Chains A and B, each alone.
Chain A
């Protein structure tokens, strides 16, 4: 009969779950866990420099592989630091298992050193959470946590383990069985049939795809549906990559920073086939004015999303891959020439890119050049801000899980640690992090982790010496009051990277910036590339927050 302490039970269960890499930071309340981890022969530990960094490294692994990833933090500040990464995972439905140390049971509730109510604080930002009250409970909690994180609508699960639970000895008969990580309940055939009928009867349908399609590994089925019935397709930020960027039916991203033709096409559609999306306000704009002529089919694995913000004429609760597979035989092949012609007309009238967008030093030119140098196998992470929207608008994504970006929570500081996580998961693939000077400074300490772990990531800093998207909103909606949104000192990011032991180049003032960029991208190890961007470069067009998606301002076609 195995006899182990709580910490050893946790580590053994992680090994049994196939976990080969854990990231985190030790502290007083999780030292027994680290003692057990040190004795593991199969799990490698990646020491982050800040618990938020650990949380986002785990996210980088989970987002790029689709499998639950694990992070550790100690009690008190360790736990509060990692909460942002959990909230981020919760809003984007990313499977994480976070294990935090807690003060001993006898000290719980006494305001002990480094005690916070981790259980209470993590409750609204996790799919489920546990405060473990005895080591024996860990035998069932660990498999359950992995099951919850990875099944249904994925999400983060937190397990808070008091220090004396980690050291408590337990003797038990056998390890519990694994819970399966996928659970498929078939969608209602009647709602599938009704949806198929609506698609067959529609004359101007649009397919609206989001992260749920990627979580369900349903990109191939979604593409088949689009092609079979000639349905123009928009993607949310989380859905980019489901259709390759250059696919003839792809209209790219919808919403606040969509290209004009995309939002105008949605205004005209008579059927919206929404799959794995939650009608987020950044995608829909003013929801009462979103696709006003359209009937709605809403397919989601989370029943509470259907009808939450927009009533659905047909709601399908279920896994996107199985639901698409059910729809495909019932959907008639179509050409839909009139609707496709209309879309082409809009795209000709309002082209996605203008020749001047690709002038040297312009964001699109830089992003496209990095894409050429990185190749189609590259995994791309972004931070949050202007650079993120420029990447979403212009990067030639070809596959799901290629873009790792903080969509729902919009967390600056996400990009660098997420890139490290992706590189740890896929050591042979190029990984590029597009960041901004504002975002990079929010988790810049993880440069040390990248160097220490020898993750060959390339960090491209689009440096406009400001909080660019904030400044843009102040310019547009607060009478040009650029308050607290630009930096009065010029940070030398290349020098900072070198200080961490990382190679770095600075494109500003370079006689041949393209040569420098090529050399940096070809570096065998991690490398930071500082790329100056004009502070006046804006993300266009823009739908003002709270306005309808047809109200697009700021580009050459706008009346403003």
Chain B
């Protein structure tokens, strides 16, 4: 079945979301740690963008997460991970993160 235009659009999350910005150690297990935490604690993760920064020993991760009552737990549990160096809630970055998501969805 050929992809329709809708298939190539970034999906809209079901509920209200917010943006978290993490600075993490850059090694092959870090994404697994972050995603594993969301999976095993039943937190919703709507989107994830990741790139190495600086000299390559750290990465920046942008997470689009559920903004409901579990947000406090999500932030506290992420902060406990040894490889998470900094964590900020950045709702004002929504526009850029959404634009990036749109672009990713369109890459053919």
Contact = CB atoms under 8 A, between A and B. Distances in A.
A200 B80 CA distance: 33
B29 interface: yes
Chain A, interface residues (CB within 8 Å), range: 10 to 19
B72 A307 contact: yes
A148 B40 CA distance: 22
Contacts of A123: 29, 32-33, 36
Contact of B36 (A124, A127, A128, A303): A124
Given A302-B80, A308-B73, A124 B40 contact: yes
A120 interface: yes
Nearest to A133: B27
> SS class of chain B's interface: helix, strand, loop or mixed?
helix
B77 A304 contact: yes
Nearest to B78: A304
B40 A304 contact: no
Interface string A298-317: 00001110011000000000
A34 interface: no
Contact of A148 (B29, B36, B73, B82): B82
A124 to B, nearest CB: 5
Nearest to A129: B29
A119 interface: yes
B76 interface: yes
B66 to A, nearest CB: 16
A304 B36 contact: no
Contact of A304 (B29, B32, B33, B80): B80
B9 to A, nearest CB: 33
A131 B29 CA distance: 9
Interface residues of B, number: 12
Contacts of B40: 124
Contacts of A119: 29
A128 B82 contact: yes
Nearest to A305: B76
Interface in A107-159: 119-120, 123-124, 127-128, 131, 148
A124 B35 CA distance: 11
Contact of B76 (A124, A128, A148, A304): A304
Contacts of B29: 119-120, 123, 131
A304 B80 CA distance: 8
Nearest to A120: B32
B106 to A, nearest CB: 33
Contacts of A128: 82
Interface in B68-89: 72-73, 76-77, 79-80, 82
Nearest to B82: A128
Contacts of B36: 123-124
A127 B33 CA distance: 11
Nearest to A148: B82
Nearest to B81: A128
A119 B33 CA distance: 11
A128 B82 CA distance: 7
Contacts of A131: 29
Tell me which of B40, B79, B80 has the highest count of chain A C-beta atoms within 10 A of its own C-beta: B80
Interface string B42-78: 0000000000000000000000000000001100110
A68 to B, nearest CB: 16
Nearest to B39: A124
Contacts of B82: 127-128, 148
Given A123-B29, A124-B40, 11 more contacts: A120-B29, A124-B36, A127-B82, A128-B82, A148-B82, A303-B79, A304-B73, A304-B76, A304-B77, A307-B72, A308-B73
Interface of A: 119-120, 123-124, 127-128, 131, 148, 302-304, 307-308
Shortest 3 CB-CB contacts between residues of A and residues of B:
A304-B76, A128-B82, A304-B77
24 contacts: A119-B29, A120-B29, A120-B32, A123-B29, A123-B32, A123-B33, A123-B36, A124-B36, A124-B40, A127-B82, A128-B82, A131-B29, A148-B82, A302-B80, A303-B76, A303-B79, A304-B73, A304-B76, A304-B77, A304-B79, A304-B80, A307-B72, A307-B73, A308-B73
